[in-house]
Amino acid sequence: MINKNIEKVLNEQINKEMYSAYLYLSMSAYLSSINLNGFAHWTRQQYIEEQEHALRLYDYVINRSGKVVLKAIDSVKTEWNGVINVFEDILAHERKITDSINNLVNIAYKENDHATVNLLQWFVSEQVEEEATVSDILDQLKLIEGKGSGLFILDREAKTRTAATTNE
Ligand code: OFO
């Protein structure tokens, strides 16, 4: 049986992951609107991964005989000022999510909930990977000043991304 405080903070994290999914989908729509179909694909793949993150927490709460409580998802931004601006927002957002995960780990330690600490270790590693990937893309976009043939090549590369999912 899961502790009520842990149940509450995991439910909040489910909401944050669903918000992340929604944000990436909105970015994808924006990128399609400026004809960057590779980056639109990349952010749409991330939308799928974020839903997977939410489901990982959802399944865990249920497996521990807790109660999943799905709250409203906040509305997301719909306009950006080019692809560099999108990736700046992604990096800032992922850093916030990393803080949120680290905070959850602290709470799980305080509650002596080793199973939850264990679950969260996956998220800790995932955040390191996400921040590194996004930071690399942002550096490359800045190098080419987000335009020209460099942008054409990066957009084509972005098209090859496949979401890593395990849940059905
Ligand atoms: Fe769920 O990792 Fe991004 O937000």
68-109: pLDDT as tens digits: 999 999 999 999 999 999 999 999 999 999 999 999 999 999
CATH number for the domain that contains residue 131 = 1.20.1260.10
Decide if 163 is inside a domain: no
**Residues 36, 132: Cα–Cα separation, whole Å:** 22
Decide if 165 is inside a domain: no
Does the beta carbon of 7 lie inside 6 Å of ligand 1? Answer: no
Does the beta carbon of 18 lie inside 6 Å of ligand 1? Answer: no
Decide if 164 is inside a domain: no
Q: Kindly report, residue by residue over 138-155, the tens digit of the pLDDT.
A: 999 999 999 999 999 999
Number of domains comprising the chain: 1
Quote the pTM value.
0.96
**Mutate which of 14, 20, 24, 165 to test ligand 1's pocket (most atoms within 8 Å of Cβ)?**
20
Decide if 61 is inside a domain: yes
Q: Given the CA of residue 126, which atom of ligand 1 is nearest to it?
A: 2
What range defines the domain where residue 67 resides?
A: 4-158
All residues at 6 or more sequence positions from 117 whose CB lies less than 8 Å from its CB, including other chains: 105, 108, 109
